[in-house]
Amino acid sequence: MMTKFRLSLALLSLFTLTACAAPPGTWGWYVIDPTTSAGWTNITFLLRGFSATIQISVIAAVASIIIGLLVALPAFARSRWLRLPNRIYVEFIRAIPLLPMLFWVFYGLPVVLRSMGIDLNIDPFWGAVITLALSDSAFTAEIFRSGIQSVPRGQAEAAQTIGLTRAQAMRYVILPQAVRRILPPLANQFIYIVKMSAFASVIGMAELTRRANELVVTEYRPLEIYTLLILEYLVLVLIISAGVRWLERKMNADESR
């Protein structure tokens, strides 16, 4: 935690140093100077993107966890045929780059739905949520699978001998133990989602990146505006990291109690 803060502080001072060391005229911070009314308007315009970025990321993450769990569970079936859908889903979804998938969901999926008689327009917000959730679910499914597999086999055997069904063993014995192994990589995935939500800008979602782009077009100060954009994501990710660390500490405290 401390090292991470120090790292980000170092990064910040690096920015400031570059700013100071550069020849006069390189930086034009006036564009986001909060003391001027024009600068303040620009800043609030950019910061309002947080709401969309956070909403997209959180909804997509929750959906991806649910889909991931549903996809991971067949991997533990005895029959090879039940395991097959898991493998196909993971290999297929994992192979699609995010941007093409976003285009397909936003421009293609409504056409498919209309041909099936469903008249549903997908707006940029839900287009981004669906794409991020789907794309990420292949990775969360793998995280769940490896986390569940890391619980020693004896646990499932003991559960069986005290009469639990396989579903009960999963619910009461395996999953609670797998969670602490799953959480750190899951947090990584969430950070990944937050960053990838920037792609929503290309289908017109007014989140952090889109707003920065729009401001650059009117103000012609890409350096300052994109610098601020990077810092916006940095703050978001640092907050998530701190939250996860807190959760991990809390779970470890529960364990040793």
Partner 1 sequence: MIRVKAALGWTAHDQLNRSRAKEQVANINQGKHAITMAQVSKWYDDFQVLRDITLDVDHGEKLVICGPSGSGKSTVVRLLAGLEQHQKGTISLYGQPVDSQGRGDIGMVFQQFNLFPHLTVLDNLMLGPMRALGMPRPEARDRAMAYLERVRIPEQADKRPGQLSGGQQQRVAIARSLCMDPKLMLFDEPTSALDPEMIAEVLEVMEDLARDGMTMICVTHEMGFARRVADRIAFMDAGEIVEVEPPEIAFSAPKSARFAQFLDKILKH
Buried b (16+ CB within 10 A) or exposed e, 61-77: bebbbebbbebbbbbbe
List the interface residues with partner 1, window 3-62 (CB under 8 A).
none
Which of the stretches 89-97, 98-106, 160-168, 206-214 binds partner 1 when contact is defined by CB under 8 A? 160-168
Question: Smallest gap, in angstroms, from Cβ of residue 200 to partner 1?
Answer: 38
Q: Binding to partner 1 by residue 96, rule CB under 8 A?
A: no
Q: Which of 10, 121, 163, 217 binds partner 1 (CB under 8 A)?
A: 163
At residue 256, what is the residue type? Answer: S
Considering beta carbons, is residue 17 or 251 the nearer one to partner 1?
A: 251
Q: Which of 3, 25, 161, 217 binds partner 1 (CB under 8 A)?
A: 161
Separation of alpha carbons 51 and 207, rounded Å: 7
Q: Which of 4, 157, 220, 250 binds partner 1 (CB under 8 A)?
A: 157
Separation of alpha carbons 189 and 241, rounded Å: 11
Considering beta carbons, is residue 51 or 165 the nearer one to partner 1?
A: 165
With a CB cutoff of 8 Å and minimum separation 6, the contacts of 234 are 8, 11
Q: Binding to partner 1 by residue 154, rule CB under 8 A?
A: yes
According to DSSP, residue 172 is labeled: I
One-character DSSP codes across 83-146: HHHHHHHHHHHHTS-HHHHHHIIIIIHHHHHHHTT---PPPHHHHHHHHHHHHHHHHHHHHHHH
For residue 219, what are its two tokens?
Answer: 């103000």
Separation of alpha carbons 164 and 234, rounded Å: 46
**Residue 138 Cα distances to 51, 82, 111, 154, angstroms:** 26, 17, 24, 28
Which of the stretches 42-50, 136-144, 157-165, 209-217 binds partner 1 when contact is defined by CB under 8 A? 157-165
Q: Binding to partner 1 by residue 257, rule CB under 8 A?
A: yes
Which of the stretches 63-71, 116-124, 154-162, 210-218 binds partner 1 when contact is defined by CB under 8 A? 154-162
Instruction: Convert residues 166-205 into a mask of x (bound to partner 1 by CB under 8 A) and - (unbound).
Output: --x---xx--xx----------------------------
Q: Binding to partner 1 by residue 162, rule CB under 8 A?
A: yes
Q: Which of 2, 24, 217, 255 binds partner 1 (CB under 8 A)?
A: 255
For 67-217, strand residue ranges (E) read none
Q: Which residues bind partner 1 (CB under 8 A)?
A: 152, 154-155, 157-165, 168, 172-173, 176-177, 255-257
